[in-house]
Chains A and B, each alone.
Chain A
Amino acid sequence: MAAVLVHIDLDGARPHASSLMALAAGRAVASSWGATLYAAVIVHDPGVRTGGDGRPGPAVDAFRVPGGARAIAAVRAALARGGADKIVVVKTEAAIAPLWSALGPAWQAVLEHLRPRLVAFGADAPSACELGPRTAARIGARLFLRARAVGSDDVELRDHDGSYVRAGDSGAAVVMVGAAPRLAPHGDDDIDVMVLAPPGGADPRIELVGTAPAQLSHTTGALIAISDAAATEPDVARATQRLARALGAHVVGSAHAATAGVVAPGAVIEPDAPLAPSLCVAIGAPEVDIAGAGSLVQIGAAGGKGVDGALTGPIAPNLAELARALEGR
């Protein structure tokens, strides 16, 4: 039976929400394709041992993730309720960090063990941008960015370009999942857990020496950029904040826009400061540089080349309708 593999990042001692979204998409696909759905999580184990021949050591029944027994049970239960058929736990002596250099050797062991036909990552999961494309390159797979599951019987995964992966396709595919269908929680918590303990630690060529909070201007997530004129209209300001909540995005703008209250003090962007978020929703004509956005949607403007969406007409009603549409998803 074909394997659909979902990489699970941990958020503390729980599966990351984006990984669970990928698991939901994987469940839909695996059910449609008649495949087995594996959820794989990499955990740090400084005492990991390997067999003398270099192959993974004998499986042990410990399923250790940070947080103790209750956290272990929670992760296992969450993955079971998310629809996983089997759970793979990979132990690595490397410290867990969202880097290929840290996780790659352990992840490679999962790929070799399962030889999956489809590998899914949550598009916003911490290590997805490092592991997803490298996984695709390693197995020579097609790569789909910000794809969603489409269909209820013959489910396919489709990205925003219209490219898709279907049950009958040949070759492997790697998918960064941006949206998933709504699924009922699964009730069977008693699912198999497979433990791998491959040899090797982190790639010493990449040395992580520290972390600190990033500035908002460096974000690679979603942003809403609002113009000074739009920010001073109370209806627009309210609708903007509602859309921001629905998207899970920050609202940025100039210092002038901040005086209207819709832009938080820490979200003031200087006019020449470059932004390169994955998505920017521009409201009016923001006084910030949004040309580096991966995807650009304009509200209150006609759009043009390089714009993925544009809504003309009154801004506040359009924003409210958009927020309503997203809140229902």
Chain B
Amino acid sequence: MTEAVPREPLEAPRIAVWLGSAPPVRSIRWLDGALKAAGKFGGATAVAAGHSTWLDLAADRALRLGLEAIGVVTDLQLDYLGWAQVMAGVARQLGATTILVDEASRPERFAEVAALAELCDAAQLTHVVAIAPDATTIHASRIAGDQLQTVRIHGPAVIGVRIAGPAIDEYPTPMPSATMRRLDLAALGLDPAVLGHRALPPRVSHEPRRTIDRVAEHLAVYMAPRRDADAGGAPPGANDGASAGPAARPGAATRDGKAARAGRGSKGAKGSKGSKGVQGE
């Protein structure tokens, strides 16, 4: 891209690092890495939300790396946009211009990068594996498929980092933090009842899938799509005519099928539950 960078004088970024609303799934290594990356900027503040046990862990890891910590105490279980509203509220209080997000510790968190950027009217950059401050500019490297992109960031930005700290097998159980600044939603100008519109239903505990069929079904959504032999590229799921086509498979999707069903109401029905259901596979 060749566009000119903004010409108005920029200030050095004021940094906050969003650690999320729940502890890492398996390892605190990526949490430590995000904190260490934020520590390069000086004066960074670590922010977490959720239950006190998680907040104490987040504060403990932040303080070990010399960062201040803020914890937002709440029992809400929110979606990506709900948690982004919480972090955006903290960023406003801190006057943070750049927010790092630990996007590797939990897979669902990378979506919060975009939501935060949207709420803060900031640029966004996901999948960053290296970062270095340079006065008013931030140099970053990000993964895009099998490519490593080198990027310069000018001005407010939300940056999703997947940077690991040192390998760590065990860590001491954190004590309740005396230095962590605790905030509630009201202090951020957020109404829990309104924020509750972004609530997620409680998830059933995830037991590992233990049969071939169920594991294969899980793996199938991670399969690299195959490029069709046809250079035009029919859908990777498209069959080659050897098996059931629309005529042989009732309900198979066709443009004609759409026309046949066009009389169906397609507007959302009020009160529909949408994603509220939690069902096993």
Interface residues of A (CB under 8 A from B): 1-2, 11, 14-15, 17-18, 20-21, 23-24, 27-37, 74, 77-78, 81-83, 85, 94-95, 97-102, 117, 122-124, 126, 129-130, 132-134, 136-138, 140, 142-148, 151-153, 155, 160-171, 173, 178-186, 188, 201-215, 218-222, 246-249, 272, 274, 276, 278-279, 281, 289, 291-298, 303-304, 306-312, 318, 321-322, 325-326, 329
Q: Are A205 and B234 in contact (CB under 8 A)?
A: no
A308 to B281, CA, bound (A): 12
With A24-B236, A185-B238 already in contact, the answer to whether A329 and B223 are too (CB < 8 A) is yes
Q: Which B residues between 98 and 120 are near A, CB-CB below 8 angstroms?
A: 104-105, 107-108, 110-115, 117-119
With A168-B268, A325-B216 already in contact, the answer to whether A178 and B222 are too (CB < 8 A) is yes
- A218 CB contact (under 8 Å) in B129, B152, B157, B277: B129
* A303 → B minimal CB distance (Å): 4
| Interface-central residue, A30, A32, A206, A292, by most chain B CB under 10 Å | A206
Whether, in the assembled complex, B261 has its beta carbon less than 8 Å from a beta carbon of chain A, the answer is: yes
With a CB–CB cut-off of 8 A, which chain B residues contact A101? Answer: 1, 123-125
Q: Are A94 and B3 in contact (CB under 8 A)?
A: yes
With a CB–CB cut-off of 8 A, which chain B residues contact A296? Answer: 26
With a CB–CB cut-off of 8 A, which chain A residues contact B238? Answer: 24, 81-82, 182-185
With a CB–CB cut-off of 8 A, which chain A residues contact B234? Answer: 20, 78, 81-82, 185
Q: Are B268 and A170 in contact (CB under 8 A)?
A: yes
Q: Which B residues between 216 and 246 are near A, CB-CB below 8 angstroms?
A: 216, 218-228, 231-239, 241, 243, 245-246
- B266 CB contact (under 8 Å) in A35, A77, A219: A35
Sample 25 A-B pairs with CB under 8 A, ordered by A number. A18-B225, A33-B261, A33-B266, A36-B258, A123-B221, A136-B80, A146-B221, A166-B272, A168-B268, A179-B223, A182-B238, A204-B6, A205-B154, A211-B149, A218-B143, A219-B143, A249-B224, A274-B167, A289-B27, A291-B29, A292-B27, A292-B30, A295-B107, A307-B208, A326-B219
